[in-house]
Chain A
């Protein structure tokens, strides 16, 4: 039993945190909005330099051959920075799906090296994120997995409340040429992709939640009313303490879900859903507390609260709504043994 991260795992997250603090701070985000560019290439190139694009892909295709525990802190750091763009889904979901499909050849290797972006159209999500930046799309048709070149897909932009979230409706024609996994293989592959998508979305939500608290604390220390910093009033203290409690008890759920993902059973999937529910709740609670603490400023574009609030709103239903995940948890608790000796259990047959 060891519920701690290795030095290496902590270090790679720290490196990403530093890279993003430099290249994906609020000033950079606002500049990107003003200039209207699709992607801030500096942040993307800096992340490429860190070398985590193929983190969940095997070494034979140029990946690092690591697991979800090695990426969860990185995804959390991305959420903290409200990083836009395809990095988390590309490295955390599309990469391992491509590898699992055994698609050999240049696309997989290019994906591992981030020379090509692969977007993923999972049936849980109505739209494909960052599809316009992708060289190829992994798409679903009747349970099968299809790999489609960007040139063969017509994309229609859907506008999200989050100005950095680039959603697209793809129009494409499935064929024998595009199909790379049949319905039977697809079932497991899409399930695994859903778990990774939900897990790393949860991680981003948790990072977002902590960011909203940190922003609020900084503001509450300096903003004065009635002659004192507003952060000295219990009304503000208790509001933010409540968010921090929510975060503290979402974090170990997230990390344990990452550690158990390879079990791929009813229990580990419920663990991912648990992480998604509580992390998304923490992000929303934090964003709304931040809005309240910042007052009218928070409701404007003068401060950055709105960026985080909108991301929290978007990610809440990405990779499965609360209702979807709640139902997966209910399945586990109604159909598998309960009690403290089963905290880390695998699914038991004939339970």
Chain B
């Protein structure tokens, strides 16, 4: 065990820190979930990132990456959040579909989809949930039936994050008409502007259009847009969910930065703050550190040949709960100011607590509700009967 960074890792940190200092926009960009303008501003930022070779550092160079290991990935994220760089509008592509393609895609699919993903030219949405298939995801009814060299897509997808403005979606479809449950499902990529596809934005709790529903009516896509084999969709989705629940989608730096800000907020209000709040602030910082240590430990295990298993479900519960508690503590410190919308604050650094709290409230729901994660932990980690 050696918990120190190598010279190479330290140099990598300095390199990304220098690049971000020179390139991160001075003023924060408008939200990518509120307007097309904000979305496109974030796409531009993705292009800038990709121009520096920072689009997705863990990918091989031929796909627009740098081929770095998972520790360097964590360092990249630490510096990224430290610099206050814009949110990753293409996170569904980069962190979820990307690794799935890397593991299960054909060479042609990787060459076709990964470089424009890393470059921000194609922004991705996830199209899994349906009105009648939420926690019971295996109940999906949207269909992808084969017609020669094409699939014909029909059905109704919902809660698709980023779909309001995104270019492409990766969807879970029933390809075997007689099948039920986990069997007969297939993962298919489709352009959101294809003839027969209608996207209708849904207002989120915070009023933004962070997700959308997608209506598919005889949308035709080539068979080459299927990932893996026909009928293998469930298996691929669970692999994707493993990335979603931990290491990639929610790297720890975001919580550590938020915890550091929370400590500063507490210090600024220490005179009038309820003394019990220091305990909540300390707890938030401890949890962010615990999450970071756990992810470093997982990264080292994966680098030595380990695999992501059902323990990824513990990540999802831990980061979503710590995120809610951390932001709730900030609102407690702000007291009567807490209900005010961000523009109500003079200090822009402190003003986003309410916004971030409302976003954090979604955490225990998306990427598989925490109740579903607890079932997975109980059945697949602990071995309790179904």
Q: Which residues of A contact B (CB under 8 A)?
A: 1-6, 9, 69, 213, 217, 220-221, 228-229, 231-232, 234, 236-238, 240-242, 244-245, 248-253, 255-256, 258-260, 274, 277-278, 326, 329-330, 333-334, 338-341, 343-344
In the complex the two chains form, is B1's CB within 8 Å of A255's CB? yes
In the complex the two chains form, is A340's CB within 8 Å of B252's CB? yes
- Interface Cβ pair total, 8 Å cutoff: 163
Chain A residues in 8 Å Cβ range of B278: 330
In the complex the two chains form, is A326's CB within 8 Å of B293's CB? no
B9 at the interface (CB under 8 A from A): yes
Known contacts A237-B378, A248-B311; A3 and B300 CB within 8 A of each other: yes
For the complex, give the distance between the alpha carbons of A69 and B293 in Å. 16
Chain A residue nearest to B377 (CB atoms) is A241
Chain A residues in 8 Å Cβ range of B31: none
In the complex the two chains form, is A236's CB within 8 Å of B384's CB? yes
In the complex the two chains form, is A338's CB within 8 Å of B282's CB? no
For the complex, give the distance between the alpha carbons of A338 and B267 in Å. 13
Chain A residues in 8 Å Cβ range of B13: 341
Top 5 nearest A-B pairs (CB, nearest first) are: A237-B378, A340-B78, A338-B260, A241-B374, A241-B377
Per-position contact with A for B370-385: 1 when CB-CB < 8 Å, else 0?
0101110111011111
In the complex the two chains form, is B5's CB within 8 Å of A1's CB? yes
In the complex the two chains form, is B5's CB within 8 Å of A338's CB? no
**Shortest CB–CB separation between residue A229 and chain B, in angstroms?**
5
Per-position contact with A for B289-304: 1 when CB-CB < 8 Å, else 0?
1111110110111001
**Shortest CB–CB separation between residue B21 and chain A, in angstroms?**
14
Chain B residue nearest to A250 (CB atoms) is B290
B361 at the interface (CB under 8 A from A): no
B256 at the interface (CB under 8 A from A): yes
List 27 A-B pairs, Cβ < 8 Å. A1-B2, A1-B3, A1-B6, A2-B1, A2-B3, A3-B299, A3-B300, A4-B297, A231-B378, A240-B378, A241-B373, A241-B377, A248-B294, A249-B287, A249-B294, A251-B294, A277-B286, A278-B290, A330-B278, A338-B259, A338-B260, A340-B77, A340-B81, A341-B82, A343-B292, A343-B293, A344-B4
Chain A residue nearest to B316 (CB atoms) is A245
Chain A residues in 8 Å Cβ range of B79: 341
From the candidates B279, B292, B374, name the one contacting A340 in the complex (CB within 8 A). B292
From the candidates A4, A231, A277, name the one contacting B384 in the complex (CB within 8 A). A231
From the candidates B9, B256, B382, name the one contacting A244 in the complex (CB within 8 A). B382
For the complex, give the distance between the alpha carbons of A43 and B274 in Å. 50
**Shortest CB–CB separation between residue A264 and chain B, in angstroms?**
15
For the complex, give the distance between the alpha carbons of A259 and B296 in Å. 14
Chain B residues in 8 Å Cβ range of A4: 1, 297, 300-301, 304
In the complex the two chains form, is A260's CB within 8 Å of B3's CB? yes
Q: Pick from B253, B286, B287, B289 the residue with the most CB of A within 10 Å.
A: B289
B239 at the interface (CB under 8 A from A): no
From the candidates B259, B263, B293, name the one contacting A252 in the complex (CB within 8 A). B293
Known contacts A213-B382, A221-B384; A341 and B78 CB within 8 A of each other: yes
B152 at the interface (CB under 8 A from A): no
Chain A residue nearest to B5 (CB atoms) is A1
Known contacts A244-B377, A252-B290; A229 and B301 CB within 8 A of each other: no
B34 at the interface (CB under 8 A from A): no
**Shortest CB–CB separation between residue A76 and chain B, in angstroms?**
14
From the candidates B1, B77, B82, B314, name the one contacting A339 in the complex (CB within 8 A). B82
B318 at the interface (CB under 8 A from A): yes
For the complex, give the distance between the alpha carbons of A245 and B290 in Å. 12
**Shortest CB–CB separation between residue B91 and chain A, in angstroms?**
18
From the candidates B279, B287, B383, name the one contacting A326 in the complex (CB within 8 A). B279
In the complex the two chains form, is B285's CB within 8 Å of A237's CB? no
In the complex the two chains form, is A256's CB within 8 Å of B279's CB? no
From the candidates B9, B267, B282, B296, name the one contacting A343 in the complex (CB within 8 A). B296
In the complex the two chains form, is B383's CB within 8 Å of A3's CB? no
**Shortest CB–CB separation between residue A335 and chain B, in angstroms?**
11
In the complex the two chains form, is A3's CB within 8 Å of B290's CB? no
**Shortest CB–CB separation between residue B307 and chain A, in angstroms?**
15
In the complex the two chains form, is A217's CB within 8 Å of B5's CB? no
For the complex, give the distance between the alpha carbons of A69 and B3 in Å. 12
